[in-house]
């Protein structure tokens, strides 16, 4: 009897398993169908987004998913709405923080650009390298003369002591030429006339020695602690400074109306010994309509290379630009233009996002 009962229970259990398998299979099949429907639904919903992205592969997939032309119509409409939404999205202008100054190719050995509004360096390339500065020295020469409040209309003369015995450079100012102190300052800043600059130093109270002392004292007062001046022209390679120090000097020079006017004069007619002579600025950028320059000075001796410093307004920002030891006659001008384009491409004009 017990054996019959066990056999009956075993048959019942086997029948139960056999009945349960089709049920589980049917349940699994329904689950797979529901999942497939959800995936198809999501694919149809994403079709307009694929059209928005402009992907050819996504567009083809969306076309295959649509069973009829009628069903594809809402997708085109949705694509138009998505495109309109994309067009209405506000455009983000690049800021200075988006621009990488390390990607800016500058060919000057030392370079610095200072934002005068914030005092922050925007571009730096060996800004603390102590190097000869050539005729950039003449900005300090002009400041020392103006600080002494000497009579600008006083007539001074070019003497033998003003002739360049270091480099043997030429001059359009023969020994014996007389001019006002104002004219000498104009020619020193605009045309970088070495004899005019040296004459300004010689006619300083106490002579040339006292003048050089005043130059170095002024440098210390401006915080130019890595700078040294030996004479007023920059012909000596012992006139040295750094880009950081020169940025301080240029910013200080920009506070003198006379320096702003004389250093940015494109050309001038000057009467010398009863004759009118034409002089031109050594910086071609002052004649460009694309530049708004407040202070300008070039410099060159073999030890210093070609140098350029400016105070200017670029992309609606006041900046100081220092370029030292540029190889090639036009490299410093090229570097200045590259800096200008870089700043303008950063979207710093009026009405755009601040840096």
Catalytic positions, please?
A: 135, 138, 192
Query: What three-state secondary structure class fits 169?
Result: coil
CA gap 190, 173 in Å, rounded: 14
Q: Is 332 exposed, middle or buried (0-12, 13-18, 19+ CB in 10 A)?
A: buried
Backbone angles phi, psi at 278, to 5 degrees: -95, 135
Contact 306, 332 (CB under 8 A): yes
Tell me the sheet residues that pair with 267.
280
Tokens 């950063």 belong to residue: 346
Taking residue 121's Cβ as centre, other Cβ atoms within 10 Å add up to 16
Structure tokens at 247: 């940025």
Structure tokens at 306: 């070609």
Contact 235, 167 (CB under 8 A): yes
Q: Is 244 exposed, middle or buried (0-12, 13-18, 19+ CB in 10 A)?
A: buried
Taking residue 321's Cβ as centre, other Cβ atoms within 10 Å add up to 26
End-to-end alpha carbon distance in the chain: 97
Q: At what angle do helices 181-190 and 137-147 cross, to 10 degrees?
A: 160
Nearest to 248, CA basis, from 336, 149, 139 = 139
Tell me the sheet residues that pair with 310.
296, 321
Nearest to 319, CA basis, from 121, 92, 57 = 121
């Amino acid at each position: 009897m017990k054996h019959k009962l066990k056999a009956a229970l075993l048959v019942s259990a086997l029948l139960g398993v056999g009945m349960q398998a089709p049920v589980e299979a049917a349940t699994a099949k329904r689950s797979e169908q529901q999942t497939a429907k959800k995936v198809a639904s999501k694919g149809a919903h994403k079709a307009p987004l694929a059209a928005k992205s402009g992907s050819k592969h996504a567009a083809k997939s969306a076309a295959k998913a649509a069973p009829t032309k009628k069903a594809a119509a809402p997708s085109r409409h949705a694509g138009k709405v998505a495109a309109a939404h994309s067009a209405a999205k506000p455009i983000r202008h690049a800021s200075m923080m988006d621009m990488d100054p390390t990607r800016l190719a500058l060919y000057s050995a030392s370079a610095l650009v200072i934002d005068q509004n914030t005092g922050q360096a925007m571009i730096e390339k060996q800004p603390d390298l102590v190097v000869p500065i050539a005729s950039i020295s003449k900005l300090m020469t002009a400041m020392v003369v103006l600080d002494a409040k000497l009579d600008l209309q006083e007539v001074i003369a070019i003497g033998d002591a003003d002739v360049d015995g270091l480099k043997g450079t030429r001059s359009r100012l023969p020994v014996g030429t007389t001019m006002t102190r104002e004219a000498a300052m104009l020619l020193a800043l605009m045309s970088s006339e070495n004899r005019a600059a040296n004459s300004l130093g010689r006619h300083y109270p106490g002579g040339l020695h006292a003048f050089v002392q005043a130059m170095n004292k002024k440098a210390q007062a401006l915080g130019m602690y890595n700078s040294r001046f030996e004479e007023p022209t920059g012909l000596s390679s012992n006139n040295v400074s750094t880009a950081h120090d020169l940025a301080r000097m240029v910013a200080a020079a920009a506070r003198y109306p006379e320096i702003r006017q004389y250093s940015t004069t494109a050309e001038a007619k000057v009467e010398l010994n009863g004759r009118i002579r034409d002089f031109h600025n050594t910086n071609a950028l002052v004649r460009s309509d694309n530049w708004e320059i407040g202070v300008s000075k070039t410099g060159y001796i073999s030890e210093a290379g070609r140098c350029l410093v400016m105070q200017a307004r670029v992309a609606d920002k006041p900046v100081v630009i220092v370029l030292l030891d540029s190889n090639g006659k036009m490299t410093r001008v090229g570097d200045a233009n590259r800096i200008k384009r870089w700043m303008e491409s950063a979207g710093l004009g009026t009405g755009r996002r601040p840096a």
